[in-house]
């Protein structure tokens, strides 16, 4: 145990932190204040108050599997940055998920997302991953 967390939980927290930093540095738009991350929900620059949102699969979807499957959820094909509070809440709706899927396709590529979802579906035997595949497959790039 380290600071009350097992090493596996600590590793997942670190992966989440690194992913958030990666997304904040790569999914950017140019503003008068320089490059800023873009919100997957409203498509506006994020100047402060940034959360990371799991779009296609959540940690809850793979809960009960192993921590290694939780790690699969934390990647660029599934996560997006959103404004804290309002956009994060709206991103969790069906309409919000659709907007966030468009964002993922724009920044990560439809083929790569579908490949990732296929891999997750095989490993987890999850119907949720298969449904997410159908959602992405039906979206236009």
Please determine, for residue 2, whether its predicted confidence score (pLDDT) is greater than 50.
no
Q: In Å, what is the CA distance from 136 to each residue of 35, 64, 105, 115, 117?
A: 28, 25, 8, 11, 9
Could you tell me which of 1, 126, 32 has the C-alpha nearest to residue 134?
Answer: 126
Domain presence at residue 46: yes
Q: At what angle do helices 127-137 and 110-124 cross, to 10 degrees?
A: 170
Grade residue 66 by pLDDT with cuts at 50, 70 and 90: low
Predicted confidence at residue 108, as pLDDT, reads: 97
Examine residue 127 and state whether it is found in any structural domain, yes or no: yes
Q: Does residue 26 sit within a domain?
A: yes
What is the domain range of residue 24? Answer: 7-137
Per the structure, how many domains does the chain have?
1
- Do the beta carbons of residue 101 and residue 60 sit within 8 Å? no
User: How far is Cα 59 from Cα 21, in angstroms, rounded to an integer?
Assistant: 19
Q: d(Cα 60, Cα 73) in Å, to the nearest integer?
A: 10
Residue range 71-87: average pLDDT? 94
**Token match 């579906």: residue?**
121
Interatomic CA distance for residues 85 and 105, integer angstroms: 23
The mean per-residue pLDDT over the stretch 58-74 comes to 76
Q: Please check whether residue 1 lies inside any domain of the structure.
A: no
Average pLDDT over residues 2-12: 56
In a domain, 2, yes or no: no
Q: Is residue 104 part of a domain?
A: yes
**Tens digits of residue pLDDT in 85-123:** 999 999 999 999 999 999 999 999 999 999 999 998 888
- What are 18-36's pLDDT values in tens digits? 999 999 999 999 999 999 9
């Amino acid at each position: 145990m380290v600071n009350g967390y097992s090493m596996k939980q600590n590793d997942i927290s670190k992966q989440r932190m690194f992913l958030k930093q990666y997304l904040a540095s790569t999914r950017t738009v140019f503003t008068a204040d320089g490059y800023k991350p873009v919100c997957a929900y409203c498509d506006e620059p994020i100047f402060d108050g940034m959360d990371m949102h799991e779009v296609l699969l959540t940690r809850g979807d793979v809960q009960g599997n192993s921590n290694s499957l939780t790690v699969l959820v934390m990647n660029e094909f599934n996560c997006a940055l959103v404004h804290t509070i309002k956009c994060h809440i709206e991103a969790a709706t069906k309409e919000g998920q659709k907007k966030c899927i468009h964002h993922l396709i724009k920044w990560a590529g439809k083929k790569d997302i579908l490949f990732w979802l296929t891999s997750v579906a095989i490993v987890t035997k999850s119907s949720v991953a298969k449904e997410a595949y159908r959602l992405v497959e039906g979206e236009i790039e």
